[in-house]
Structure 1
Amino acid sequence: MEKPVPQEAIALADELRNVLHHVFRRIRQEGDSDPSGLSLQHRMLLSTISQTPGIGVAELARMEKLRGPTMSGHIKSLEAAGLIRRDTPDPEDRRRSGLLLSEHGAAVLEDIRNRRRDWLARKLAQLPPEGAQALRNALIYLNEIGE
């Protein structure tokens, strides 16, 4: 039988979840001003393709919990915009070709990430030194939680 969770830990979990939700929302909003006009879904797909180069359309659909035809539509849009390209077909299965970011897609994704990072860096630069140090210390424990 599991030990009951202390009320202080429950309160801290609620507060942390709420704060992280607001911070992530603000970071995402910085990407919303993306001059390419990409939807949130397309930005997420670019990020996933960037992290898993060569991923197939079916696997990407499973990862993102989208139906195949829906994913195919997104892929066609991203291809038409010149943001992604298909890799050479798999010699074992000629029907399957992995997805890769194009140079343009990589540049757009880097721009979005830089804009988000810069927004966060400006906010962090406004903190007093002890606040920045407290965040550095908290990162150790947040990383432990995330593992």
Structure 2
Amino acid sequence: MPKKHEPSLSPRVLAASEELRLTLKKLVREMRRDASENGGDIPLVQYMLLSIIQEQPGIGVAELARMENVRAATMSGHVKAMEEAGLVERSAPDPQDRRRSGLQATTLGAERIEALRDKRRDWMAQRIARLTPAQLSALEAAIEPLNLIGTP
């Protein structure tokens, strides 16, 4: 049975939504493929988690699991793999809750994140450099509205 759309969504909005979804899907797939072909040795899920840990040092496993909407046991497995790879480390247990210790990116983890970000930025820059000046202007103008889409 087809899903019903909000009555306020115009066919134009629905069409733009689908085009954007497909375009982003293609970009992410190509970026992932390029990263894995060029030495990207951190799985995407670990990269995303490591980025969050780096942005929020001291975050706990349970909070990370809630953020990512996964079970704590699943998140513990990811964190353990990142610890074994030397990408994250646990801080000393919280004095008020000895079961909880915060996570932080190691120097190696921070280096790997930065290297992958650089690769992805360069990958994107090479493709953007192919655009005509008018296309580049249109892309620049689209960045602000795209950021608004990602805001709750």
Bigger strand fraction: 2
Q: Which residue pairs with 2:3 in the alignment? A: none
Q: Using the alignment, how far apart are the partners of 1:32 and 1:26 within structure 2?
A: 10
Counterpart of 2:89 in 1: which secondary structure? Answer: strand
Any stretches of 5+ residues in structure 2 without a counterpart? 1-5
Change (3 A) 1:120 1:38: same
Q: Distance in 2 between matches of 1:34 and 1:53?
A: 29
Give the 3-state SS of the residue equivalent to 1:70 in structure 2. helix
More contact order relative to length (CA 8 Å, sep ≥ 6): 1
Provide the TM-score with structure 2 as the length reference.
0.84
User: CA 1:77–1:51 in structure 2 vs 1: closer, same or farther (change >3 Å)?
Assistant: same
- 1:51 & 1:34 partners in 2: Cα distance? 25
SS in 2 for 1:96: strand
CA-CA distance at 1:66 after TM superposition: 2.7
Distance 1:104 1:59, change over 3 A: same
Q: Which residues in structure 2 correspond to 1:1-147 (within 5 Å)?
A: 4-33=8-37, 35=39, 37-147=41-151
Task: Return 5+ residue gaps in structure 1 as ranges.
Answer: none
Structure 1 residue 3 displacement after superposition: 5.6
Question: In structure 2, how many angstroms separate the alpha carbons of the residues matched to 1:93 and 1:108?
Answer: 31
The number of equivalent residue pairs is: 146
The one-letter code matched in structure 2 to 1:133 is S
Q: Percent identity?
A: 46
Task: Give the SS at the match of 1:88.
Answer: strand
Partners in 2 of 1:52 and 1:124 — Cα distance? 31
**RMSD across aligned positions (CA):** 2.0
